[in-house]
A and B are shown apart, each in its own frame.
Chain A
């Protein structure tokens, strides 16, 4: 699976949009970009994933650049409960990967009042 690079930490004001970047310049054509987050001491929680097109769900939006070498997770109206570690993961969706995830260090997002 391709390696990802994320900033170690970011801050955001409550109510504002949080934009979390991820670089995955070695991504291959059959690899998806996944985002998970981990709120203190809990198990990671799935947020969103995408292949090429931008994706949106009830939690967030995922913007993937046209060359697929980077992406941005957007939390449109951050709340204090969004304070967490956010992991960007590139994963092969093929059968030989067995669905395994490789976690990096992630980005610690702190939302301030």
Chain B
């Protein structure tokens, strides 16, 4: 599992509240990613990071921001959660662009 943990694993929150999800890795991977997965869909990339303080948008970045202040942590923030952001969120890491990605166990977020 490449030493990836996600916290929290489950969260229920109300519309309009801020939410931060954390991805933590222990093996010094350079690249980190946040994906979301909705029923009947494959994973979609939200944001990714290619180094400390280096981040960029994925295909579904609206309503999300990220930060990476140290190699091991990649934070995903929903500034004002909406019901459409109810989803399962997966973090992933890789050491190089040509190598495999390792995925975390996921965070199930419900926005009521």
Contact assessment for A44 and B99 in the assembled complex, using a CB-CB cutoff below 8 Å: no
Min C-beta distance of B76 to chain A, whole Å: 15
Contact assessment for B31 and A99 in the assembled complex, using a CB-CB cutoff below 8 Å: yes
Contact pick for B43, options A45, A97, A103, CB 8 Å: A103
Contact assessment for A44 and B90 in the assembled complex, using a CB-CB cutoff below 8 Å: yes
Contact pick for A102, options B45, B100, B105, B106, CB 8 Å: B45
Bitwise interface map of A from 87 to 103 toward B, beta carbon under 8 Å scored 1, else 0: 10000111101111111
Bitwise interface map of B from 21 to 47 toward A, beta carbon under 8 Å scored 1, else 0: 000000000010101000001111100
What range describes how many residues of A lie at the interface? Answer: 20 to 34
Contact assessment for A103 and B58 in the assembled complex, using a CB-CB cutoff below 8 Å: no
Contact assessment for B42 and A105 in the assembled complex, using a CB-CB cutoff below 8 Å: yes
Contact assessment for A99 and B94 in the assembled complex, using a CB-CB cutoff below 8 Å: yes
Contact pick for B97, options A46, A49, A94, CB 8 Å: A94
Report Cα–Cα, A44/B104, bound state, in Å. Answer: 8
B74 interface hit (Cβ, 8 Å)? no
- Given A93-B97, A99-B94, A100-B33, the answer on whether A46 and B41 have CB atoms closer than 8 Å is no
Q: Besides A43-B90, A98-B97, A101-B33, 15 other CB < 8 A contacts? A: A43-B103, A43-B106, A44-B43, A93-B97, A95-B97, A98-B50, A99-B96, A99-B97, A99-B98, A99-B99, A100-B33, A101-B45, A101-B101, A102-B45, A103-B42
